[in-house]
Amino acid sequence: MIILKKYFALLCVVMVMLIGNTTVNAQTINEADTDLCNTLKYALITSLREPVDKAIFEIYKDDKVAPEGLTWASYDTELLKIKQVFGVGGLYEITLKVHPYYDAHNSYGVDEIVINTQGELLGYKHVKTLP
């Protein structure tokens, strides 16, 4: 009789857990002026602002004719490659093509910058200086 009560209690607990376990499917809310894919791209690129700024400084620090205040815009940056390093949800390496500019968006150069998702600058390459 005691064993039957234990099985009954266990059955009740399992039924409560199964009935109470409803699946919830969340839908992403995109409150931006672009589709979700572009919104994610711009959010990723913008989140890497600090290492990209560092790379631009390093690339142009010895350029005697480089204008002061070189900056860049996330909407004008190309996402060239995303490399998965350790597995899904792990570390990723991101290669960006950045177009530094000065003043009212006067282009000055083209650079490729490699950053990981921990915000570390892994490398950079100056592609060209624009006239």
* Residue 99 is assigned to a structural domain of this protein: yes
- CA distances to 48, 66, 95, 129 from 63, in Å: 24, 5, 23, 10
Average pLDDT over residues 56-84: 93
Buried b vs exposed e over 66-92: b needs ≥16 C-beta within 10 Å? beeebebebeebeeeeeeeeeeeeeeb
Average pLDDT over residues 57-82: 93
The residue that leads in pLDDT, 39 or 53, is 53
Phi-psi region of 128 (alpha: psi -120 to 50; beta: other; left: phi over 0): beta
The answer, yes or no, to whether residue 61 has pLDDT greater than 70, is yes
pTM: 0.74
Q: How far apart are CA 1 and CA 37, in angstroms?
A: 61
Among the ranges given (19-33, 47-61, 62-76, 85-99), the one the predictor scored with the smallest mean pLDDT: 19-33
* Mean of the per-residue pLDDT values of the chain: 88
pLDDT confidence of residue 124: 97
* Residue 40 is assigned to a structural domain of this protein: yes
Per-state percent for the chain, helix, strand, coil, to nearest 5:
35, 25, 35
* Residue 29 is assigned to a structural domain of this protein: no
CATH number for position 76: 3.10.450
pLDDT 10s digits, 87-128: 788 899 999 999 999 998 899 999 999 999 999 999 999 999
Report the domain count for the chain.
1
* Residue 105 is assigned to a structural domain of this protein: yes
Q: How far apart are CA 49 and CA 4, in angstroms?
A: 64
* Residue 43 is assigned to a structural domain of this protein: yes
* Residue 28 is assigned to a structural domain of this protein: no
Q: Residue 128: in which H helix or E strand, if any?
A: strand 121-129
Cβ atoms of 75 and 99 within 8 Å: the answer is no
pLDDT confidence of residue 101: 94
* Residue 111 is assigned to a structural domain of this protein: yes
pLDDT 10s digits, 4-29: 777 777 887 777 777 766 666 767 77
Bridge partners of 121, per DSSP, are 115
Residue-number span of the structural domain to which 95 is assigned: 36-129
pLDDT confidence of residue 105: 84
* Residue 2 is assigned to a structural domain of this protein: no
